[in-house]
Structure 1
């Protein structure tokens, strides 16, 4: 059995945890665009990606918290550690969600008893997240990823849904294809053109037939696996990271050289610190800027050879920053970041 655990309104929940005056009121995490809205704000109609000035004009009662990337990353690390305390079989989906395979803990069966035991494990995990991290975590329990994800979505906010075998068998044919994980608007339109609206409508279809309808072959195989109830239940453990990065929101957009350069230098040192005991040396450096209109720029830095030397990396980052000509740009810089490309780890 699998658990899909997902911290609700992650950025907003962290801010409400840390700032009591934000609890129970409509609030968002900014600064220029809504990065996350609390459930109180969502009830009004606020959503992520909305320009903050538009949201405040429509809902002047909204409270705004500054985006604190470092804090969210630290809390994410604590959350993932908590997940791995339950089982080493953890597949992160983002910084606040993951699939956990608890088959070895629930008796290993696929029957109702296994689902019940997995639900008990998920309930304990949710209680611990609330007690130790101060975060609401919704969880879905099912035998495969699709239903675990759908169950956690149904559980929000701050709930738990367990899908047993009988429920899965009853619900699976009725699922709208538009709600399936990974099926986007373009694929949905192609399926609807073929009169495939629900999973049950896939009866009789073959991979070849779907491909003829311009559905990608991998997606066609996935759809038929979902139809047949043999969809993905495999946890994919993360491999060695291919890159490492650090970003910082400036709070108020600026073109002030000292502020932008200081933020970039801090990011270089923070990214190096995140390498920890990983012996690999960065082979490439990219500087990331986001302006106050959300336009993003990536400028590659020059490294003569792989290095972990802070002075060399800061120098390369600052030179790349200079090439963006941000000071001459009429827009203000809202976010500064850096990323290092890492070589593949040596083979044993």
Structure 2
């Protein structure tokens, strides 16, 4: 049995938890664009990705907070610690959501999985102050669809009978991972719902210009043999840190100070990982929301701070920010790590 657990409006929920005056109010988290909207703001029509100035012009009652990346990472770690207390089989989907395999608990019954999910939700609310929605089902697809249906702050359990009844009626556009391009290609050959896939083979879908991996997945969804495998994360490929400068600037000392602070935080996050970085990536975002990322390989793998700082400075210079007429609003540093 699979649980899909997802913290609702994660950034906004953390801000409303930490700032009581924001609770129950339409508010957004973001700087140049809306990164996350509270459910009160979503009820007005506010969506992530909306330029902040446009959102404030249309909804002047919105409260706005800046992104606090380090806080969200800390809370994410606490959330995943709760997940792993329930089971070691946890597959992260993002910093606030994951699939959990609880099949080993009480013989893998749907009822026990539902109890585990509700217990997790209660603990997240009591210990972290966060609303978490959860979906429970036999496999990932329906667990994900169920948690989506459960939002905000709810639980939906899909038993075998419900799954069998609902599966054929699912619109292909609602299937996790099926994008607009694939949806359009399927519509061209008369496939709008899972039931319409009856009679199609994998090769037939490929001939209809559907990618083979997607065609294979669609067939498994039609047949009810879709993915229930938890994939444990491997070694991280990088550590990083980034922080908004608050307001756009072209002042070298301010930008370099932020660069240095981000490098120090990235090294702290490397902690006891024995691997040595092989590349330094510097990320610069400008005041028109355009970004540039500059990777600079190291001459040899190293954790030597002076060498990493010199490479980060070189990458910053290569970004061309000094010769660019735009102001800088964010600087970030990533340390690329060898996988093997």
Please give the range of the TM-score, normalised by the shorter of the 2 chains: over 0.9
Shift of 1:121: 0.5
Moved over 3 A (4+): none
* Cα displacement string for residues 311-331 of structure 1 (whole angstroms, at most 9, x for unaligned residues): 211121012112222133121
Aligned pairs for 1:252-263 (under 5 A) are 252-263=247-258
Structure 2: which 5+ runs fail to align?
A: none
| Among 193, 197, 202, the residue aligned to 1:198 | 193
Q: Which residue matches 2:226?
A: 231
1:315 pairs with 2:310: yes
Q: Which residue matches 1:175?
A: 170
Q: Which residue matches 1:5?
A: 5
Shift of 1:251: 2.1
Q: Is the 8 Å Cα contact of residues 69 and 249 (structure 1) preserved in structure 2?
A: no
| Among 218, 235, 242, the residue aligned to 2:237 | 242
Q: SS of the residue aligned with 1:103? A: coil
1:26 pairs with 2:26: yes
Distance 2:321 2:262 in 1: 18
Q: SS of the residue aligned with 1:158? A: coil
Shift of 1:106: 3.6
Aligned pairs for 1:1-348 (under 5 A) are 1-108=1-108, 114-345=109-340
Q: Is the 8 Å Cα contact of residues 137 and 159 (structure 1) preserved in structure 2?
A: yes
Q: SS of the residue aligned with 2:107? A: coil
Shift of 1:302: 4.7
* Cα displacement string for residues 123-147 of structure 1 (whole angstroms, at most 9, x for unaligned residues): 0000000011100000000010000
Q: TM (normalized to structure 1)? A: 0.96
Q: SS of the residue aligned with 2:258? A: helix
Shift of 1:37: 0.3
Q: SS of the residue aligned with 1:225? A: helix
Distance 1:96 1:209 in 2: 38
Distance 1:185 1:256 in 2: 43
Shift of 1:277: 1.3
Q: TM (normalized to structure 2)? A: 0.98
Structure 1: which 5+ runs fail to align?
A: 109-113
Shift of 1:293: 1.3
Distance 1:238 1:310 in 2: 28
Q: Is the 8 Å Cα contact of residues 196 and 202 (structure 1) preserved in structure 2?
A: yes
Distance 2:140 2:244 in 1: 34
Distance 1:147 1:271 in 2: 37
Q: Which residue matches 1:111?
A: none
* Cα displacement string for residues 286-307 of structure 1 (whole angstroms, at most 9, x for unaligned residues): 1011112111101123522111
Distance 2:131 2:279 in 1: 38
Q: Is the 8 Å Cα contact of residues 7 and 137 (structure 1) preserved in structure 2?
A: yes
Shift of 1:246: 1.3
User: Over the residues paired in the alignment, what is the CA RMSD in angstroms?
Assistant: 0.9
Distance 1:195 1:106 in 2: 43
Q: How many residues align?
A: 340
Q: Is the 8 Å Cα contact of residues 9 and 36 (structure 2) preserved in structure 1?
A: yes
Q: Is the 8 Å Cα contact of residues 106 and 115 (structure 1) preserved in structure 2?
A: no
